[in-house]
Structure 1
Amino acid sequence: MYRYWLMFRSALFWFWQIAVTLLMGAPVIIGGLISFRIGYAFAIIWNRLNLYGLRWICGIKWQVDGRENIPDKPCIVMSKHQSTWETYFLPTLFYPAVYVAKKSLLWIPIFGWALYVLRFIMIDRSSGRSAIQQICEQAPVRLSQGRWIVVFPEGTRRPVGSEANYRIGGAVVANELGCDVVPIALNAGEYWPRMGFIKWPGVITVSIGPLITSEDKSPAQILAETEHWIEARVAELSGSNPALQGQ
């Protein structure tokens, strides 16, 4: 019976997401065409409405540790990616931020158009080295505009407990730009699983690690330090949702 209750709440949130998208899509797109600041302000409202929908409908709360590790000026943020949840949350923590995302997302109505007007860094992931070059060309501009660059180094959402699969692209960009990295660990996938419909109530933990400097380091060293810290912290956070044990 409890599972059916969770399914009902998750379905209600699904309708909430649609309503919020229809409500905020136009302000984000029109505002973004006027200026990034206006469009992004509406986008944050969009994100927060979804986050608070999750909180009040599905019972998903969150906590953040390591806020003192956030540097004073924007840099590259490399985050674990387990769930859709962090795509809503991270822009509210690192303000303003743009994602490095796959270009195919631009074809999604409303959502993709919003990514375009907000000038996210859109890349063709199938182009290999060329994709890294695309980031290197756009990232300095975004950083100079005071925007954080958010990268998911595994490229896509990874199931909880799956083997890590970090790609070197973000580390190459950090190396070439001489830009430091903020590592982010989280356990959102235990409450909003990848490809899962049910949203499980509980408290998501987002952990911000010590700044990883790029000075005198190769891309491989930057990536190794980032992966080591994130995966060690994720291991500490794992198993926080007893309801998922044995699922």
Structure 2
Amino acid sequence: MFDFVRSSLHALWMLVTVIPYGIAVLVASLWQRGEPLYWIAASWLRLAVQGARVICGIQVRVSGMDNLPVGQTSPAVLLVKHQSTFETFLMPTLMPHPLAYVFKKELLQIPFFGWAMSRLDMIHIDRSQRAQAFVKVVAQGRRLLEQGTWIIMFPEGTRVARGEAGAYKSGGTRLAIETGAPVIPIAVTSARCWPRRAFVKRAGVVDVSIGPAIPSVGRQPDELMREVQGWIESEMRRLDPQAYGAADGSGLQPRDA
């Protein structure tokens, strides 16, 4: 019951704060674009993460920050383990560069949150048009990477349950190879505290482990994604061994995006 009450308060906190921030982004976008507008939006994500810490008792422990590329325009494609909504909120609060998410365009219809996202320099795609969607991802991704914005993708495509591995799709590695950007694999144990499709959150520690940069030049998408998947899933077992037991998704093969 206590977790339900705290989760309800956090949901209320996000609802109350997203409205003024969404309006602020929409108004500011009338004369401001690019990085300044991004950081206004990221401020709300920071409030959501801080609210999870204060209200729900969710702490964050990060390792591997020294693995991130250094330099104002150094490119990177972040490929992140996807267990819950939490990492989508958390990543912009950790990274020193603006992030551009690749996401389905339907999210733009969410009041305030989606409306604000529509004003940011993100990559929203129509999943029903797969070939055209990837062409758009590469074109926009190259432009964003050149200006110092990092691309973030969830190679499993959807949130997976704690202790499981989804089918890793090769879209992120294809983008990295097309643009020459290194890949940064990231393991996140968010489902320990914020399970997928769950309203009730639990107090605890979410570990974020940032892996070494993997060069993409001269690689094949599936082969590179197997390396990414191997690192992430191995790291997940190290960070959260009690979640896996006999479960082993390391043999899953990446698919085309």
**How large is the Cα RMSD of the aligned pairs?**
1.4
2:194 is matched by which residue type in structure 1? W
Q: What is the correspondence of 1:120-159 to structure 2 with a 5 Å cutoff?
A: 120-159=122-161
SS at match of 2:29: helix
SS at match of 1:27: helix
Which of 47, 50, 53 is equivalent to 1:52? 50
1:58-83 deviation line (CA, Å, top 9, x unaligned) = 00010100111001123111001111
Tell me the residue number matched to 1:19. 16
Q: Point out where structure 1 has 5 or more consecutive residues left out of the alignment.
A: 242-247
Percent identical:
40
Q: Does 1:93 align with 2:91?
A: no
Preserved contact between residue 75 and residue 181 of structure 2 (Cα < 8 Å): no
1:5-54 deviation line (CA, Å, top 9, x unaligned) = 11000001110010110121111222234222332121121011111100
Q: Point out where structure 2 has 5 or more consecutive residues left out of the alignment.
A: 244-257
1:88-133 deviation line (CA, Å, top 9, x unaligned) = 1111222211101111111111111111111210011232233221
In structure 2, what is the Cα distance between the partners aligned to 1:91 and 1:74?
A: 16
Preserved contact between residue 30 and residue 39 of structure 1 (Cα < 8 Å): no
Q: What is the correspondence of 1:78-117 to structure 2 with a 5 Å cutoff?
A: 78-94=79-95, 95-117=97-119
Deviant stretches of 4+, over 6 Å: none
Rate the CA distance shift 1:171–1:35 in 2: closer, same or farther, 3 A: same
1:233 is matched by which residue type in structure 2? E
In structure 2, what is the Cα distance between the partners aligned to 1:221 and 1:204?
A: 29
Give TM-score, length-normalised by structure 1: 0.92
Preserved contact between residue 132 and residue 172 of structure 1 (Cα < 8 Å): no
SS at match of 1:35: coil
In structure 1, what is the Cα distance between the partners aligned to 2:121 and 2:33?
A: 11
Q: Does 1:6 align with 2:3?
A: yes
1:194-217 deviation line (CA, Å, top 9, x unaligned) = 011111101110000011111221
Preserved contact between residue 75 and residue 180 of structure 1 (Cα < 8 Å): yes
1:121-155 deviation line (CA, Å, top 9, x unaligned) = 00112322332212011101111221010011111
1:159-180 deviation line (CA, Å, top 9, x unaligned) = 1122321111111111111111
Tell me the residue number matched to 1:244. none
In structure 2, what is the Cα distance between the partners aligned to 1:207 and 1:234?
A: 9
Rate the CA distance shift 1:199–1:136 in 2: closer, same or farther, 3 A: same
In structure 2, what is the Cα distance between the partners aligned to 1:232 and 1:239?
A: 10
2:151 is matched by which residue type in structure 1? I
SS at match of 2:205: strand
In structure 1, what is the Cα distance between the partners aligned to 2:57 and 2:75?
A: 32
Which of 199, 224, 227 is equivalent to 1:225? 227
Preserved contact between residue 29 and residue 39 of structure 1 (Cα < 8 Å): no
Give TM-score, length-normalised by structure 2: 0.89
Q: What is the correspondence of 1:154-233 to structure 2 with a 5 Å cutoff?
A: 154-233=156-235
In structure 1, what is the Cα distance between the partners aligned to 2:29 and 2:236?
A: 35
In structure 1, what is the Cα distance between the partners aligned to 2:218 and 2:168?
A: 21
SS at match of 1:125: coil
Tell me the residue number matched to 2:40. 42
Preserved contact between residue 101 and residue 123 of structure 2 (Cα < 8 Å): yes
| Aligned length in residues | 238
